[in-house]
Amino acid sequence: MSAPHAAVSLAGVGKTFGKGAVRALEDIDLAIAPGEFVSLIGPSGCGKSTLLRIVGDLIQPSVGDVIVNGKPAHRARLDHDYGIVFQSAVLYDWRTVTKNISLPLELLGWSRGRRNERVREMVELVELSGFESHHPWQLSGGMQQRVSIARALSFDPALLLMDEPFGALDEMTRERLNMELLRIWERSGSTIVFVTHSIPEAVFLSTRVVVMSPRPGRIAGIVEIDLPQPRGAETREQPRFFELVTEVRERLAGSGAATAPTEPALVTEERV
Amino acid sequence: MSTVVQPVPRSFGRTIGRRFRDWLPALVVFVLVLVAWQGLVEVFNIRQFLLPKPTAILGALRDNRSDLWSAGIVTFKEALGGFAMGSTAAILVALVLARWRRVGGAIMPYAIAANAVPIIAFAPITNNWFGLLNPMSKMVIAAVLCFFPVFVNTLRGLTSVQPASIELMRSYAAGEIETFRRVRIPNALPFIFTGLKVASVLAMIGAVVGEYFGGPLDALGVVIQNNVALFDFPLAWAGIIVASAFGIAFYAAVAVAEHFLTGWQPAADSRSD
Amino acid sequence: MAAIASRRAAPAVGDGRARALLDRAALLVVVLAAIWAVWEGFRWIGIRTELTWPFPVNDVTMPRLHEIVGQLFEPSRVNGPLLIDVLLDAALFTAREAAVGFFLGSAIGFGLAVVLVHSRLLQRGFLPYIVASQTVPILAIAPMVVVGLGSKGVTGWVAVAILAAYLTFFPVAINTLRGLQSADPRALELMHSYAASRWTILWRLRVPASMPYVFSALKISATASIVGAIIGEAPSSIQEGLGGAILNFNQYYSLEPRNLWATNIVAAALGITFFLVVAGAERVVVRRAPENVA
C213-255 residue pLDDT tens = 899 899 889 988 998 888 888 766 677 888 888 888 888 887 8
In a domain, B27, yes or no: yes
Largest Cα–Cα distance of chain C, in whole Å? 77
Terminal-to-terminal C-alpha distance of chain A:
37
Chains B and C touch (3+ CB pairs under 8 A): yes
- Rounded to whole angstroms, how far apart are CA atoms B195 and B191? 6
In a domain, B107, yes or no: yes
Chains A and C touch (3+ CB pairs under 8 A): no
Quote the number of domains for chain B. Answer: 2
Mean pLDDT of A25-44: 92
Q: Is the pLDDT of residue C131 over 80?
A: no
User: Could you give the percent of chain B with pLDDT greater than 70?
Assistant: 85
Q: Is the pLDDT of residue C124 over 70?
A: yes
Q: Kindly list the residues from chain B whose CB atom is less than 8 angstroms away from the CB atom of residue A104.
A: 172
Q: Is the pLDDT of residue A81 over 80?
A: yes
| Surface of B (140-199) touching C: CB under 8 A | none
- Looking at A81-85, B66-70, C3-7, C19-23, which range is the least confident one? C3-7
In a domain, B88, yes or no: yes
Q: Both B36 and B120 in a single domain?
A: no
Phi–psi pair at A67, nearest 5 degrees: -115, 125
In a domain, B270, yes or no: no
- Rounded to whole angstroms, how far apart are CA atoms A61 and A26? 10
Mean pLDDT of C31-53: 83
Is B26 within 8 Å of chain C by CB? yes
In a domain, B173, yes or no: yes
Burial class (CB in 10 A: 0-12, 13-18, 19+), C275: buried
Nearest CA in chain A to B178: A107
Looking at residue B13, what is its pLDDT?
61
Q: Is the pLDDT of residue C52 over 60?
A: yes
Q: Is the pLDDT of residue C1 over 90?
A: no
pLDDT tens figures, B172-225: 999 888 898 899 999 899 899 989 998 998 899 899 988 988 889 889 988 888
pLDDT tens figures, B15-55: 666 667 777 777 887 788 777 777 766 665 555 556 677 88
- B216-223: long-range contacts, CB 8 A cutoff, minimum separation 24: B216/B74, B216/B132, B216/B133, B216/B135, B218/B70, B218/B71, B218/B74, B219/B71, B219/B74, B219/B75, B219/B78, B219/B138, B220/B68, B220/B71, B220/B72, B220/B74, B220/B75, B221/B75, B221/C140, B222/B71, B223/B67, B223/B68, B223/B71
Domain covering C74-292 in this structure, CATH number: 1.10.3720.10
Question: What's the length of chain C?
Answer: 294
pLDDT grade for A242, boundaries at 50, 70 and 90: very high
Mean pLDDT of B108-113: 84
Q: Nearest by CB to A56, from B171, B178, B262: name it.
A: B171
- Rounded to whole angstroms, how far apart are CA atoms A68 and A55? 7
Looking at residue B4, what is its pLDDT?
47
For chain C, the chains sharing at least 3 beta-carbon pairs closer than 8 angstroms are B
Mean pLDDT of A1-29: 80
C264 and B122 within 8 Å at the Cβ level: the answer is yes
Q: Is the pLDDT of residue C87 over 50?
A: yes
Is A71 within 8 Å of chain B by CB? no
Q: Kindly report the pTM of this predicted structure.
A: 0.77
- Rounded to whole angstroms, how far apart are CA atoms A138 and A142? 12
Looking at residue A207, what is its pLDDT?
95
Q: Nearest by CB to B167, from A58, A79, A135: name it.
A: A58
Residue of C23, C227, C233 to mutate for B, most B C-beta atoms under 10 A: C227
Q: Is the pLDDT of residue C47 over 70?
A: yes
Q: Kindly list the residues from chain B whose CB atom is less than 8 angstroms away from the CB atom of residue C247.
A: 124, 213
Looking at residue B266, what is its pLDDT?
64
Q: A60 has which bridge partners?
A: none
Q: Is the pLDDT of residue A163 over 50?
A: yes
Mean pLDDT of all residues in chain B?
Answer: 83
C234 and B49 within 8 Å at the Cβ level: the answer is no
Selection from B26, B159, B135 nearest residue B84 by Cα: B135
Strand ranges of the sheet holding A37-41, from the earlier edge strand across to the other edge: A82-85, A159-163, A191-196, A37-41, A208-212, A219-224
Is B116 within 8 Å of chain C by CB? yes
Q: Both B130 and B36 in a single domain?
A: no
- Taking each helix axis as running N to C, give the angle between helix C257-285 and helix C242-251, from 0 to 180 degrees, rounded to the nearest 10: 160
- Rounded to whole angstroms, how far apart are CA atoms A183 and A194? 15
Q: Rg (Cα) of chain C, in Å, rounded?
A: 24
Domain ranges of chain A: 8-223+241-254
ipTM exceeding the 0.95 mark: no
Q: Is the pLDDT of residue C130 over 60?
A: yes
Q: Both B41 and B155 in a single domain?
A: no
Please state the CATH superfamily assignment of the domain spanning residues A8-223+241-254 in this structure. P-loop containing nucleotide triphosphate hydrolases (3.40.50.300)
In a domain, B248, yes or no: yes
Looking at residue B224, what is its pLDDT?
87
Q: Both B209 and B241 in a single domain?
A: yes
pLDDT grade for B2, boundaries at 50, 70 and 90: very low
Q: Kindly list the residues from chain B whose CB atom is less than 8 angstroms away from the CB atom of residue A138.
A: 4-5, 266, 270, 272
Q: Both B92 and B144 in a single domain?
A: yes
Q: Nearest by CB to B4, from A88, A107, A138: name it.
A: A138
- Rounded to whole angstroms, how far apart are CA atoms C91 and C235? 17
- Rounded to whole angstroms, how far apart are CA atoms B214 and A164? 65
Q: Both B21 and B136 in a single domain?
A: no
- Rounded to whole angstroms, how far apart are CA atoms A214 and C283? 37
Mean pLDDT of all residues in chain C?
Answer: 81
Mean pLDDT of A150-155: 91
Three-class DSSP category at C76: coil
Question: What's the length of chain A?
Answer: 272
CA distance B260 to chain C (A): 22
Q: What is the CATH number of the domain that holds B109?
A: 1.10.3720.10
- Looking at A36-45, C74-83, C198-207, which range is the least confident one? C74-83
Residue A145 identity (one-letter amino acid)? Q
Q: Is the pLDDT of residue A177 over 80?
A: yes
Q: Kindly list the residues from chain B whose CB atom is less than 8 angstroms away from the CB atom of residue A79.
A: 173
Mean pLDDT of all residues in chain A?
Answer: 87
pLDDT tens figures, B56-68: 888 888 888 888 9
Q: Is the pLDDT of residue C203 over 90?
A: no
Three-class DSSP category at C183: coil
Q: Both B127 and B171 in a single domain?
A: yes
Range of the domain at B110: 54-261
pLDDT grade for C82, boundaries at 50, 70 and 90: confident
Q: Both B209 and B153 in a single domain?
A: yes
- Rounded to whole angstroms, how far apart are CA atoms B261 and B263? 6
Three-class DSSP category at B51: coil
